[in-house]
Structure 1
Amino acid sequence: MRYGICIPQFVPDGFDPAAFRDYLRRAEELGFESAWTQEQHLGDKPILGAVEVMTYAAACTERIRIGCSVFVTPLHQPVELAKSLSTLDQLSQGRLEVGVGTGGNRRPFGAFGITADGLVARFNEHLRIMRALWREQRVTIDGRFWQLENAMMEPKPVQAGGPPVWFGGSAPAALKRAVQHGDGFFGAGSTTTAKFAEQVKIVREEAAAAGRDDFPIAKRVYIAVDDDTAVAKERMRIALDEIYHGFGLPDLTPVSVFGTPEECVAGLRAVAEAGAERILVNPLFDQREQMERLSADVLPHVS
């Protein structure tokens, strides 16, 4: 099992460079394979931008891989994002991971000068352009949304062919698209373990049909460890409500893992048994303290 850790992006009291550097360097010392951001452009919470945080994190570390799960790529211009990510792969010396998703039909498309029409087609064309710019010397694409003629982009990413591209999504069509075009599937933190298991079944069936038996599967897990289960559950409920309050969703604690170390071990084992080969543990409060306790009391006992 490989473990990732979330990168702090919520800065209600402003950004603290020293604390950020210390957190990332400690994550590396503890042996986490990767550290991940999320992307959120608009909202009333002080959340730092994904690419900028990833860049700073890469500068603070030497070995840990740096990722985002996920970029809602239809909200980006593909040439600009391809350039930013290629640059970040250079700056990190090939440690970049990229998650992508359509974002669904509830995004504020008007704020980005687009509509939801042709969302999947826009998503597919976006990825095609980014990969072409990462892999080809000259790119000519006469697309529905973007056009390039003999376009060149240098330098290429350090990782040959570009960084690994993880696909998010939950609908069967999105899961099939992950196998068709992605380098791995990343289950959402807002998905229960039972639902994730159903998604994994579809992904594995599609991967087997495509001859991709080594197709990797990961999942973000919102987690809270505390000696008092009731305290962990209530703090998790409050934290999840702050994240998803605008979506009109019911109590989301069932998507998370919380409680005593033993309860958290059981919860993560269930995620692994559901099919996750990589788990991104995502504390939502007291992140440094939670990371230390997870590393000492939970993760060594999962497998």
Structure 2
Amino acid sequence: MRFAMSIPQFHADGEFDPAAFRTHLTRVEELGFHSAWAQEQPLGTRPQLGPLEAMAFAAACTQRLRLGCSVLVSTLHSPVHLAKSIASLDQLSRGRIEAGFGTGGPRRPFAAFGVAPERYASRFYEGMEVMTRLWRDSRVDFSGEFWQLDDAAMEPKPFQKPFPPLWFGGSGRTALRRAVASPGLFTGFFGAGQVRTETFAEQVGTVRQALAESGRPLEAFGIAKRVYIAVDDDSRRARDRIDAELAALYMRKSPGIEAAAIAGTPAECVRSLREVVTAGAELILFTPLFEASEQTERLAAEVLPRLG
């Protein structure tokens, strides 16, 4: 098992404290966490820093900690710009970047990004091909439905060769099977934080079946899960606080999202996290939505030793 922490991104205008951010990420590294991950939500009422920018600052604050985003909705990005940003981050961090990608589904506000909603899945895979070819090849000729490149070059390449580990963040059975079947592209599946453990277990089953059918070894394809979590000696207080934070993050109250979060005493959190492990998670990304430093310390001292 490996454990990761979220990168603190929730800062209102003028409230970001560089020293506190550095101290927190340094402590996450000292505590032995495998990685720290951002998430992407460019539009919303809750103040949230951009993931690539937060990752860049985190890279400057740490030495060994791997850094990622789960997930980038790449259908809303230019693949050329996104490829350049990720390659630059991987160089600046000396090969510590991992990246998760998702289509975003059909209900994203595509018009706000100048993107047509039609054929978003085809746009997603074409964009992934553009990025991986720019990272891998010295020159790229590409004639696609959405993008065209003529003898294009991108330097420097990512520090990790041929490119950083790429995770797929999706939910539907068809999407999961297609991601697994895409040769040489994704190296793992990242379950979403708003997905309940029972649903995650079904998704893992789909991934493993697709791996077996494609002949890919199970051990070569990672399984991860983001977990929204709140540790408190008072179970009711933990649940009330995380439910309020989730409503602010998703701009609505949702019993399903609330049910996916883990909240309670250390012992209660351990029991719920063991279910996530049993469902197939090999990497758990803890995402506290308040008091990040205090929650990190409690997880390291009171929860992780009982999950080993």
Q: In structure 2, which of residues 254, 262, 269 is the aligned counterpart of residue 257 of structure 1?
A: 262
**1:18 alignment partner in structure 2:** 19
Q: Deviations over 1:20-66 (max 9, x none)?
A: 00000000000000000001111222110111000000010000000
| Moved beyond 4 Å, runs of 4+ | none
Contiguous gaps of at least 5 residues in structure 2: none
How much has 1:251 moved relative to structure 2? 5.5
Distance 1:249 1:228 in 2: 22
Q: Deviations over 1:60-95 (max 9, x none)?
A: 000000000000001000111100100000000000
Distance 1:218 1:169 in 2: 12
**1:296 alignment partner in structure 2:** 301
> Does 2:184 align with 1:187?
no
Letter in 1 for 2:248: E
Distance 2:223 2:299 in 1: 21
What does residue range 119-130 of structure 1 map to in structure 2 within 5 Å? 119-130=120-131
SS of alignment partner, residue 255 of structure 2: coil
How much has 1:245 moved relative to structure 2? 2.4
Distance 2:251 2:113 in 1: 22
**2:241 alignment partner in structure 1:** 235
> Does 2:286 align with 1:285?
no
Distance 2:265 2:15 in 1: 31
**1:273 alignment partner in structure 2:** 278
- Aligned-pair Cα RMSD in Å: 1.0
How many equivalent pairs are there? 302
Distance 2:45 2:70 in 1: 21
The answer (yes or no) to whether the contact 1:220–1:279 under 8 Å persists in 2 is yes
Letter in 2 for 1:9: Q
Letter in 2 for 1:297: E
- Using structure 2 for the length normalisation, give the TM-score: 0.96
Distance 1:186 1:252 in 2: 17
Distance 2:279 2:171 in 1: 15
What does residue range 123-272 of structure 1 map to in structure 2 within 5 Å? 123-181=124-182, 182-212=186-216, 213-214=218-219, 215-246=221-252, 249-250=254-255, 252-272=257-277
Contiguous gaps of at least 5 residues in structure 1: none
The answer (yes or no) to whether the contact 1:266–1:302 under 8 Å persists in 2 is no
